[in-house]
Copies of this chain bind each other. A is one copy, B any other.
């Protein structure tokens, strides 16, 4: 039923990429962060998170981002040895202060608390302030799945998205991730920006010469929706002359108030409620001032509602029903959230992670700068 090799995000053109072994990549990334002062277990978390993104086909959040984290550590905004502590605690709801530690470390601690509280009370929510960019949101939601629970992970982020009815880039792409266990892998995993697309998607379209459709971007100069050639649109976004559009697009008629409303809910829970920065106040990782990113996690204990076996039965039955619906003629197949990422991961564990040569060479350079052996194994000189 599943194709043998599947990649959600294909390396195009293949000759610009090398394939590297994910395990050697993970241990090298951990060494990088250890060299920068992180404890071994913290460095392992950051490395696992970045490599998971590459494995799952979300390269925008993978090792190509390593320079930003390194920059944040060097400039002092990321605290390599944070005192992450519980500020408030009502049992099932906890407020955590990340002490400006690496977002992945803070996020992992927070989700572990949410899971532990869900074991005790049936549900656990953890709000987090003073954190940093935490990588892919789905990573934390999946942590709950390993305990047979439903996981939710929300974060705010640097602002890039127009709030409906405005000429602005006030909101972040504020993703919503929800994961749930299934009897057999892949787990259910919804992990989506509340904008129609994240900026990484525009980058891919620009690189591959594709045309941007309706609902992705808006000019901040005159409010026109931007469609067509992706390269100038990407340029306009980068220069601050354009913004991404919320899911549902520019106008209320197509649901733009829904996408920006969802982004606002993420901001409300992750930013406002936690004491973190919100929207335009969230800083870049490499800014000398800490980014003060906010997160919100939830873990729901399925056994507070029914046995895990009964849940599996019911969930699989629904998924089977969806899988046997008549397929739309333009769809390649009927996908359940999480399947693409999982198939990509399975594929890349076997044939390696494609890294663009520029990224690969930059990792090598970083290794030299830090006086580290570059132990990343190349499996194939092209993707």
Report which of B125, B215, B305, B333 forms a contact with A95, defined as CB distance below 8 A.
B305
B166 touches A328 (CB 8 A): yes
Specify which of B122, B275, B315, B331 is in contact with A90 (CB 8 Å cutoff).
B122
User: Across the two chains, which residue of chain B brings its CB closest to A316?
Assistant: B272
Chain B, Cβ-Cβ closest to A195: B255
Contact of A305 among B93, B259, B279 (CB under 8 A): B93
Q: Is the beta-carbon distance between A328 and B165 smaller than 8 angstroms?
A: yes
* Selected contact of A265 from candidates B123, B190, B254, CB within 8 Å: B190
Is A144 engaged at the interface, CB distance under 8 Å to the other chain?
no
Nearest chain B CB to A341's CB is how many angstroms away? Answer: 12
With a cutoff of 8 Å between Cβ atoms, the chain B residues found around residue A121 in the complex are 90-93, 121
Given the interface pairs A165-B335, A268-B150, A327-B167, the reply to whether A190 lies near B261 with Cβ below 8 Å is: yes
Give the number of chain A interface residues (Cβ < 8 Å): 92
Which one of A105-113, A232-240, A245-253 is at the B interface? A245-253
Contact string against B for A residues 284-299, beta-carbon threshold 8 Å, 1 for contact and 0 otherwise: 0000000000000000
15 CB-based A-B contacts, threshold 8 Å:
A90-B301, A91-B92, A91-B121, A92-B122, A127-B305, A150-B273, A163-B325, A165-B335, A167-B329, A170-B321, A190-B265, A192-B257, A215-B215, A250-B328, A269-B300
Known: A255-B196, A321-B279, A325-B168. A150 touches B269 (CB 8 A): yes
